[in-house]
Structures are given as C-alpha cells and as structure tokens.
C-alpha cells in the first residue's frame, strides 16, 4: 500500500507505481496526513491493512507519516522523504531517526522507485516468479549502460578520443570459503570490527526473536573480490542482508550490487556524528535500493528483519509481538 501525506506528492508516488506495474505487483493508494488527519491514518491502518504485506509512506517536511504508520503495524514500512524546504533533509531525518521499536526503512529523497523495489524484494521472499523478475531487471542495467556509453561517445567523442584496448587479466582468486550456520537466513556484514557494538545489538535482538543469523567482517574497498565471492555464496542460502558501516558507506551499496534480496543498511556514528555514513548509504541512485535505518539503530534493523519475516513465519510474528509488548511496558 502506498500512503501519501499529500496529493501534491503525486510525482514521487508515480515512480513507485511504475515499478510496481512493471513487476505486476498489486498495490493500493491512500492519501492521509499524519498531522492533519491522524484519525484517518489510524482508520486506514486498522481497517484496510489485513491483506497488505508492505507499506510505503511518502511524506515531506516534518515527515512523521512513516513513523505513525509503523506505530500501527508490525509489517514492514518503507519511508520515502520528499524534497521540500530544506532540500528534503528535514524529511530524510524524520524518516530515519526513529525510536527503538518503530523501525522505518528509509530510501533517498524522492526515491519512491527504490522503495517499490525494496517492497518487491520483500514480497519475493516466497515468490520465485517475482525473484526472477528482479534478477532480469538487474541484468537489464548492463545492456542499458552499454547503450548509454555508445550514445555518450557519439555525442561528445572528438578528435582525441581513443578507445582503451581490452587486455584480459585474471582477478586474484579468493580461496577462503564462506561458512554459515545451517539455519541462518540473515547475514550481517560489517566493514570492520570498530562497529562491533552495533553488530552485537542486531545479533542480540535477533537472538531474542529466535531468528538465526551470521556475521562476517568484509572491507568492501580493501577486499572487493572477497566480498563478491562471499555474496555469490551467500545468495544460495541467505534471504536478508544487513550492512553495518561508518564513514562513506560504500559497503551497503556494494552488497546491493551483488544481490536482488533486501539489504538493510545501518549507518554508524563517527567523526561527523554518522551524517556522512547516513547520507552515503541512503542517497542511492535508481535501481540500487538500500533500506536504511537511523544512525547506530542496530535494534531497529533487527526488528525490521523480523517485520519482513513475520509475513511468512507465524513464530517470528508471535515473538515480534511479544517483544513489542515488552518495549511498551518498559517505556512507562
């Protein structure tokens, strides 16, 4: 279900609709404001959501709509911040910086197309046909890029344009094997050990929810071949990835480039309070969807994993509901 905070967000919503139509995924559209018509949001989430598996909430300015939607459900909520007065930064921070227990997966400003792709990735968990469509869409990017390159050269190539000669070289072979627990469907990948406290939050929360997971440390810029091999191996078993990194978060985008399964990004605080990590992780181009959490929000990342899996596993759903009850009781 697409929920718009205002009908003026139509151009952003169209981007999501185009993807969902292309993928032949059924959707509904509602327009309601978290601030002006809170009762209507409550009505939609209470009485129109039984057969909905994923929500995409689109809002600008003080974009509280995704958080309000997430407060009324335990299903995945993807937030799309809309460009407004501060270039969309106000909306972006409103979507990502959620309290523990109310996870919202945020995409880049106006990037409803990426939100729709994440929704498709979630729905493809037990839908082989949709999985195939996502794989084919990713493959189509190669052909599109080659065509774009040829058109670009034709437009701007001049007298001194000399195409590089192709000489075949073999990349260094990675012999290390990826070892995974037999029951794991979730793989946490961190850039280094400096973010182990955030990783531990994710692992601890998943453990409480009885969701098996694995953790690997792979520096995406230092060992790109290792990451590529491990991702190829992981795709045979893993259904959800969590990328944890600070500084310029190349890792999240690199993980996304090697899979068509959901990738949840957790930016970590560093020299710039995590703003550098957050922006480089969430502001991804079309076709590279990263479901970004708030800075250091490991617990919410784990809860978002549980929201996805609860669509397909009643045990996870029950555990998630119990966990949420504990959070509510402990907040008083």
| Distance between start and end Cα atoms, the chain | 32
Question: Coil, strand or helix: which one is 165?
Answer: coil
- Identify the pLDDT of residue 65: 95
Domain ranges for the chain, please list them.
2-124, 186-330
**Domain range 2-124, CATH architecture:** 3-Layer(aba) Sandwich (3.40)
Sheet holding 77-82, edge to edge: 29-31, 2-4, 55-60, 77-82, 105-106, 291-292, 263-267, 240-245, 186-190, 213-217
Positive or negative: CA dihedral 249, 123, 15, 30:
negative
Question: What is the rounded CA–CA span in Å between residue 242 and residue 254?
Answer: 12
CA 205 to chain centre: 19
Domains 2-124 and 186-330 alike in fold:
yes
Whether 5 and 80 have beta carbons less than 8 Å apart is answered as: no
Taking Cα atoms as reference points, which of 103, 48, 114 lies closest to residue 80? 114
Separation between Cα atoms, residue 41 and residue 50, nearest integer Å:
15
pLDDT digits (tens, 9 = 90+) for 216-257: 999 998 899 999 999 999 999 999 999 999 987 799 999 999
Query: Encoding tokens for residue 157?
Result: 């190539």
| pTM score of the predicted model | 0.94
Domain 186-330 part of CATH 3.90.1150.10: no
Mean pLDDT over the full length of the chain:
94
pLDDT (tens place) for every residue of the chain, 332 residues total: 999 999 999 999 999 999 999 999 999 999 999 888 999 999 999 999 999 999 999 999 888 999 999 999 999 999 999 998 889 999 999 999 999 999 999 999 999 999 999 999 999 999 999 999 999 999 898 889 999 999 999 999 999 999 999 999 998 899 899 999 999 999 999 998 999 999 999 999 999 999 999 999 999 988 999 999 999 999 999 999 999 999 877 999 999 999 999 999 999 998 789 999 999 999 999 999 999 999 999 999 999 999 999 999 999 999 999 999 988 887 66
Tokens of 241: 């990835």
pLDDT at residue 215 in the model: 97
Give the three-class secondary structure for 72.
coil
Residue 271: the pLDDT is: 79
pLDDT at 7: 93
> For residue range 142-181, what is the model confidence (pLDDT) as tens digits?
889 999 999 999 999 999 999 999 999 998 899 899 999 9
Spell out the alpha helix ranges (H) of the chain.
10-23, 38-47, 65-71, 89-96, 112-123, 128-156, 196-208, 224-234, 250-257, 275-282, 298-309, 314-330
């Amino acid at each position: 279900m697409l929920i718009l905070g205002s009908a003026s967000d139509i151009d952003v919503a169209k981007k999501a609709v185009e993807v969902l139509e292309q993928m032949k995924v059924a959707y509904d559209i509602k327009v309601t404001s978290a601030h002006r018509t809170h009762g209507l949001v409550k009505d939609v989430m209470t009485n129109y959501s039984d057969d909905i598996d994923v929500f995409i909430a689109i809002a600008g300015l003080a974009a509280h709509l995704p958080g309000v939607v997430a407060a009324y459900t335990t299903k995945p909520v993807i937030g799309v911040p809309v460009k407004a007065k501060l270039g969309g930064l106000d909306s972006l921070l409103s979507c990502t910086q959620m309290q523990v227990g109310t996870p919202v997966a945020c995409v880049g400003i106006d990037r409803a197309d990426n939100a729709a792709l994440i929704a498709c990735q979630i729905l493809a968990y037990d839908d082989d046909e949709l999985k195939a469509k996502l794989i084919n869409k990713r493959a189509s990017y190669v052909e599109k890029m080659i065509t774009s390159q040829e058109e670009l050269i034709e437009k701007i190539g001049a007298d001194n344009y000399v195409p590089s000669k192709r000489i075949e070289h073999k990349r260094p072979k990675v012999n290390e094997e990826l070892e995974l627990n037999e029951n794991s469907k979730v793989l946490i990948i961190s850039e280094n050990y400096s973010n182990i406290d955030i990783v531990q939050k994710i692992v601890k929360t998943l453990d409480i929810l009885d969701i098996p997971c694995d953790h690997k440390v792979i520096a995406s810029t230092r060992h790109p071949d290792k990451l590529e091999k491990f991702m190829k191996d992981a795709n045979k078993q893993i259904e959800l990835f969590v990328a944890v990194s600070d500084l310029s978060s190349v890792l999240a985008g690199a993980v996304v480039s090697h899979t068509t399964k959901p990738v949840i990004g957790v930016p970590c605080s560093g020299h710039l309070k995590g703003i550098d990590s957050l922006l480089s992780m969430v502001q991804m181009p079309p076709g590279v969807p990263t479901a970004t959490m708030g800075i250091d929000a490991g617990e919410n990342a784990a809860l978002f994993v549980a929201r996805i899996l609860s669509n397909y596993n009643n045990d996870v759903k029950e555990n998630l509901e119990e966990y949420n009850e504990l959070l509510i009781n402990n907040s008083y």
